[in-house]
């Protein structure tokens, strides 16, 4: 009983502290990650007040790492990397080498071991995916050349880090003393090759088949459970049978699921709990931080922060400029990468487990991470003012203009090209009889709709017919975003019983305040609530049946066309408040 109480106290206390500090930092315009790290400091053993159980927090954090890495694999697209490979590959490798070398030298300067310096240098060489994407989205730069380069750059860093996670135990683990480095490297490569072959050859067939069978049950709980079993099962199996990190196994599992038709649904339905466990991961990292240790020896933290905020950005800036990109792109990429985050902590945690990263070094890493994550969004907001100032300087401006070349093609992926295409201007949720009819009507008027569908067989059939279709739940913002609602003129909820219709309306309005929302419902009593939620027009099955039956009865009684129309108009006013039931084409054409 005592153990259960301690577990619940740690879970509740950690999440409550993360909520409080995360909310405050978000309100201050900082990344919530800063708040989560501060929460870990608050509930850690080095500060007064409530103290969470470190071992229990570590166990939750392990699950958080697995789900984080699964999410990275799930969203990894090789096309995005290939599109910017000419700059991302040399840039990421060069910058990582510079940061690793400087980090190693810094630790040696402070009388540390070279093994510690190597792991520490690797940890500060990789930026945070969460922070980078958040900064780019907040500044509308995600789909620009700078955004594509930064994301591709980060993908290379992530892949490089995944390889390091595999090699570290082989070089510095308990068995490293018994075999030489060449043998350790060969053994690690062999295990990695077997694991990749097994996951992609066997798992590439079994996992999509399993997900398809479970999806056919239409049970959200079973689908969520299946995705978790796949992520955790492959992660644990990788460590148990191949001797590699669970993080790598989770990454590979995410890649397999990401290549299937279920990637979006897995991301939107099965991974929200990833955020909770990821929060606990950051909390557990913060628990390692000792403010007194930082006050006693601040030099390492200051030197580390200088590498992250000065050396890394300068290296990235130089590389991007040398490769012929404009100054604004170079500065944006350099600043976006001037921070460290989750992968840094994963590497440091592994080094701590292997006994090569002492508490003092980890302390400096946490301090540098908190500060770099805090100032990074603020620095990024200065990119445009700085570039404008540089252009106004006589010599510097001339030098920058002399170096200005046509922007190299960074190539958004084919998926993004399709999303940007002007023809995807209407989104239909549901492909029943009504959705099918409206879809045909739109195509007849040269408007190519995007279908959001939860029926697996329907989705596969539409895809075979060349129809753009998104498999996922429309009540999740990622599904709507993937369907292109943020650029669409019209969103149509064609099913009469869309679960969470008001939530879909709310999310659509947040993504696109000007979008026209046409909603179908069964009962007239639901119309007012849907209109209050933000629907433009609501069409009730009860009302349409009443109109159809009225017309049929009047026709049988011999009424004239004018009498029928007059009676229809009267009933329409009573039921719909004067709204015209069918006015589809003009609004959609206007929005296109």
Rounded average pLDDT per 10-residue block, the chain, 592 residues: 72 90 87 85 85 79 80 72 79 90 90 87 85 76 79 80 76 60 68 80 85 86 88 85 75 83 78 76 81 79 92 91 85 91 82 84 85 86 86 75 55 42 70 86 84 85 86 83 86 77 87 88 80 84 78 82 80 62 40 38
Is residue 393 one of the residues assigned to a domain? no
Residues 375 and 426 in one domain: no
Q: Which of 12, 68, 14, 6 is nearest to 40 (CA)?
A: 14
Residue at 401 is within a domain: no
Sorted by sequence, the CB contacts under 8 Å of residue 258 that are 6+ apart come out as 73, 74, 75, 76, 77
CA pair distance 386, 398, nearest whole angstrom: 15
Identify whether residues 476 and 575 lie together within a single domain: yes
The reply to whether 413 falls in a domain is: no
CA dihedral 239, 244, 249, 255 (to 10 degrees): -170
| Beta-carbon count within 10 A of 446 CB | 9
Residues 434 and 305 both lie in one domain: no
CA–CA separation, 129 and 305 (whole Å): 18
Please indicate, yes or no, whether residues 466 and 372 belong to a single structural domain of this protein: no
How far is Cα 392 from Cα 394, in angstroms, rounded to an integer?
6
Q: Which two tokens stand for residue 164?
A: 């390091």
Count of domains in the chain?
2
Domain boundary among 380, 413, 438: 380
pLDDT at residue 271, rounded to an integer: 64
| Cα–Cα–Cα angle for 123, 125, 130, rounded to 5 degrees | 80
Do 448 and 352 fall into the same domain?
no
User: Is 93 inside any structural domain?
Assistant: yes
pTM summary value: 0.66
Q: Are residues 369 and 433 in the same domain?
A: no
Report the alpha-carbon distance of residue 539 to residue 492 in Å, rounded. 11
In a shared domain, residues 324 and 245: yes
CATH of the domain at 231: 1.20.1530.20
Helix (H, G, I), strand (E, B) or coil at 139: coil
**Same domain? 335 vs 428:** no
Please give the structure tokens belonging to residue 82. Answer: 């290939």
Report d(CA 349, CA 285) in Å as an integer: 8
Residues 285 and 180 in one domain: yes
Q: How far apart are the first and last CA of the chain?
A: 63
CATH for 551: 3.40.50.720
Q: 374 with 427, same domain?
A: no
The pLDDT assigned to 311 comes to 93
Residue numbers of the domain that contains 320: 2-380
- For residue 177, the model assigns a pLDDT of 52
* pLDDT value for 138: 73
Sheet of strand 424-429, all strands in order from the earlier edge strand to the far edge: 469-471, 448-453, 424-429, 490-493, 516-521, 537-540
Residue 415 lies in a domain: no
Q: Are residues 119 and 226 in the same domain?
A: yes
């Amino acid at each position: 009983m005592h153990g259960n109480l301690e577990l619940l106290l740690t879970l509740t206390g950690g999440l409550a502290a993360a909520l409080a500090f995360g909310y405050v930092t978000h309100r201050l315009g900082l990344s919530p990650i800063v708040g989560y790290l501060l929460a870990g400091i608050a509930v850690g053993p080095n500060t007064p007040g409530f103290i969470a159980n470190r071992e229990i927090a570590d166990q939750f954090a392990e699950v958080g790492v697995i789900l984080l890495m699964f999410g990275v694999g799930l969203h990894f697209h090789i096309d995005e990397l290939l599109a910017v490979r000419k700059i991302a590959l040399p840039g990421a490798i060069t910058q990582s080498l510079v940061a690793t070398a400087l980090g190693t030298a810094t630790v040696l300067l402070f009388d540390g071991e070279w093994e510690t310096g190597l792991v520490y240098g690797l940890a500060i060489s990789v930026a945070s995916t969460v922070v980078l994407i958040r900064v780019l989205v907040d500044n509308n730069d995600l789909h620009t050349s700078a955004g594509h380069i930064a994301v591709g750059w980060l993908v290379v860093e992530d892949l490089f880090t995944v390889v390091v996670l595999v090699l570290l135990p082989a070089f510095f683990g308990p068995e490293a003393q018994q075999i030489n480095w060449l043998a350790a490297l060969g053994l690690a490569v062999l295990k990695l090759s077997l694991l990749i072959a097994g996951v992609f050859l066997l798992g590439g067939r079994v996992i999509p088949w399993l997900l398809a069978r479970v999806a056919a049950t239409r049970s959200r709980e079973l689908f969520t459970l299946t995705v978790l079993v796949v992520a955790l099962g492959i992660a644990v199996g990788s460590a148990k049978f191949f001797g590699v990190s669970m993080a790598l196994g989770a990454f590979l599992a995410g890649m397999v699921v990401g290549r299937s038709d279920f990637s979006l649904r897995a991301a939107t339905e099965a991974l929200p709990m990833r955020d909770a466990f990821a929060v606990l991961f950051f909390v557990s990292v913060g628990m390692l931080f000792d403010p007194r240790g930082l006050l006693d020896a601040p030099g390492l933290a200051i030197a580390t922060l200088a590498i992250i905020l000065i050396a890394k950005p300068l290296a990235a800036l130089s590389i991007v400029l040398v490769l012929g990109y404009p100054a604004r792109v170079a500065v944006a990429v350099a600043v976006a990468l001037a921070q460290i985050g989750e992968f840094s902590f994963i590497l440091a945690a592994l080094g701590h487990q292997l006994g090569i990263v002492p508490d003092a070094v980890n302390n400096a890493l946490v301090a540098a991470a908190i500060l770099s994550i805090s100032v990074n969004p603020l620095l990024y907001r200065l990119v445009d003012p700085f570039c404008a100032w540089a252009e106004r300087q006589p010599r510097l401006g001339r030098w920058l203009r002399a170096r200005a070349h046509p922007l190299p093609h960074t190539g958004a992926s084919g998926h993004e090209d399709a999303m940007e295409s002007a023809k995807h201007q209407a989104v239909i949720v549901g492909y029943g009889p009504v959705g099918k009819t409206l879809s045909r009507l739109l195509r007849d008027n040269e408007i190519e709709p995007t279908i959001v569908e939860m029926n697996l067989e329907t989705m596969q059939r539409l895809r075979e017919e060349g129809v753009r279709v998104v498999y996922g739940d429309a009540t999740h913002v990622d599904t709507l975003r993937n369907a292109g609602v943020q650029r669409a003129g019209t969103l149509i909820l064609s099913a009469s019983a869309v679960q969470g219709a008001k939530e879909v309306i709310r999310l659509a309005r947040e993504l696109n305040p000007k979008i026209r929302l046409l909603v179908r419902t069964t009962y007239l009593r639901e119309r007012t609530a849907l209109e209050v939620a933000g629907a433009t027009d609501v069409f009730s099955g009860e009302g349409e049946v009443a109109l159809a039956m009225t017309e049929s009865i009047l026709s049988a009684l011999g009424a004239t066309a004018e009498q029928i129309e007059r009676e229809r108009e009267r009933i329409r006013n009573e039921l719909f408040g004067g709204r015209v039931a069918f006015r589809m084409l003009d609004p959609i054409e206007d929005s296109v």
